Amino acid sequence: MWRAKKPESQKLLETRGYLIRNRSRLLSLYTSAAEKNQRSRMNYLNKKLQETGRMLDSLSEIETELLTPKSQGGRFLVSSLFLHDCFRDLTADSREQFFFITGSEADGLLVLDQKCGFEHISRTAAGVEGELKSTHSLLCKLEQFGHRFLAHFHSHPGRGVGATLPSAIDQAFRNGWSAAAIPRLPRCSAAMGLCAFSGWITTLNCKFMGKEWKKLNPISCILRRSIKAVGVGISGASDRQKQIAGFDQEKFSKSHVLCIGAGGLISNVAPALVRKGIGALTILDADDVEVSNLNRQRFYFGDIGQNKAIALVRNLQRECIYATKLLGLATSLESVISDGVDLTCDVAICGVDNNPARVAAARFFRKQGIPVIFTAVSAQADHGYVFMQKRTGPCIGCLFPDITKDESFPCPGTPAISDVLQLVGAIVTYAADAVLMGRKCAWNYRAICLPSGAEDWSGFVEERSNCQLFNIHGT
């Protein structure tokens, strides 16, 4: 009897459901074994739980890839003169050399014509090792100017055909990208004497001199420290919100929001932004997902151990209703400022849990003329606030005069729960609308208290003439 083949998405849902049920069963058995102090059985069940977690993680990555709009296939162009110049640089001395390749893009044509060098920790005849901060800064610069990492050129000693094949360094480089949840780089060699050439592609259709490469993977990750993805537009999904007075869908979908942090606060803001069709969303966070985050943050069992910014971008992609450009950077605000990364956006949202980062955000974005929305909740998880620092006028230092004197960080294990975060997250999202689209907003500061509305406050914080954060306010 002939049966219709189930769609891939349905198979994924069924498999995910089975794995989740199996995980629940294993957790129940593990709890029972723990109560009876059955150590060997606990070890066995723990391994099974880890295997199930890895399977769910793999399914999430497959889902992300399926949800990503498929590339129409790009054409790559590289000239013999550029290859000649690269060959000259690669063989200038007896030491190994390694650099990245990028280029311009127009009408789907990707031109490999730019060499991108970086500092090395060591470069000898036996090997080459790049300096991590230098390579990270370089790749962030590519992101800044809208360039893609298209390939890398690497020279290594040897003669004959074998010397033109990817070396152990090239293999390790590909493995590193694969470990970052990126499909493994395939082998691609050009007979250039001592030079091995590897391109970042998923399906190879390439002749000597690089006539055509197809299907560039639309999700990219820079040295395991960033991820870029694009949402899928859903026709009709925004019809009802377009009817709301003051909500300008066209303007909203052309706007770029930068979120500092990817924890409990941003986890209750970012999903609302992508479900409303924001144009671009960048997320910064250097922390990793922990099991204690799962009660209130947009993470799941399979995300444990992953960087928060990267995991959140993956989880947000499936919630998009618009072709939102998502970028996650596994780093702190202070680090990207130090590296000179372009943080241009229409509004920044600061959802961190420490004052040094808030001060850095206030000073940096005020200098750039970019509004910042600050938000936080109390250690008792019963009240929170939202403050809008606009391009000019009152700053976070006017609200909290002693903020520059506080260099402490909260201790791990601080009480946290979802209810206050959801409430504050909704206010932050509305504040973003007010900044981006001019929705009615008769306040720049709101405080919400769950036990009693008598302590709520809404109004305008005025400038302080003796503000310690800025000597003067304004541009």
Q: What is the pLDDT of residues 240-289, one digit of tens each?
A: 999 999 999 999 999 999 999 999 999 999 999 999 999 999 999 999 99
Judged against a pLDDT cut of 70, whether residue 125 lies above it is answered with no
Same domain, yes or no: 166 and 240: no
Determine what percent of the chain is predicted with pLDDT higher than 90. Answer: 42
Same domain, yes or no: 184 and 238: no
Judged against a pLDDT cut of 80, whether residue 179 lies above it is answered with no
Mean pLDDT of 355-359: 93
pLDDT of residue 67: 63
Residue range 396-420, pLDDT digits in tens: 999 999 898 887 766 566 788 999 9
Return the amino acid letter for 258.
L
pLDDT of residue 9: 61
Q: What is the largest CA-CA distance in the chain?
A: 83
Host domain of residue 237:
226-459
What is the Cα–Cα distance from 326 to 30, expressed in whole angstroms? Answer: 38
Highest mean pLDDT among 165-169, 177-181, 246-250: 246-250
Residue range 42-92, pLDDT digits in tens: 888 888 888 888 888 777 777 776 666 555 455 778 887 888 888 888 878
Q: Quick check: is 33 in a domain? A: no
Highest mean pLDDT among 120-134, 245-259, 329-343: 245-259
Which of 181, 199, 217 represents a domain boundary (last residue)? 199
CATH number of the domain that residue 125 is part of = 3.40.140.10
- 394 — pLDDT class (breaks 50, 70, 90): very high
Q: Quick check: is 425 in a domain? A: yes
CATH number of the domain that residue 354 is part of = 3.40.50.720
Same domain, yes or no: 262 and 368: yes
> Pick the residue with more confidence: 132 or 49?
49
> Pick the residue with more confidence: 310 or 121?
310
Same domain, yes or no: 126 and 271: no
Same domain, yes or no: 185 and 251: no
pLDDT of residue 240: 95
Determine what percent of the chain is predicted with pLDDT higher than 70. Answer: 77
Same domain, yes or no: 268 and 368: yes
Q: Quick check: is 391 in a domain? A: yes
Q: Quick check: is 328 in a domain? A: yes
Residue range 194-226, pLDDT digits in tens: 233 333 322 223 333 333 223 333 333 333 478
Same domain, yes or no: 288 and 401: yes
Judged against a pLDDT cut of 70, whether residue 373 lies above it is answered with yes
Same domain, yes or no: 425 and 364: yes
Q: Quick check: is 67 in a domain? A: no
Mean pLDDT of 154-180: 56
Q: Quick check: is 336 in a domain? A: yes
Q: Quick check: is 354 in a domain? A: yes
pLDDT of residue 194: 28
Same domain, yes or no: 420 and 315: yes
Work out the mean pLDDT of the chain and round it to a whole number.
79
Residue range 139-155, pLDDT digits in tens: 777 777 777 777 777 77
Same domain, yes or no: 145 and 194: yes
What is the pTM for the complete model shown? 0.57
pLDDT of residue 44: 85
- 108 — pLDDT class (breaks 50, 70, 90): low
Count the domains in the chain.
Answer: 2
Judged against a pLDDT cut of 80, whether residue 193 lies above it is answered with no
Q: Quick check: is 293 in a domain? A: yes
- 163 — pLDDT class (breaks 50, 70, 90): low
Same domain, yes or no: 187 and 241: no
Same domain, yes or no: 348 and 433: yes
pLDDT of residue 25: 86
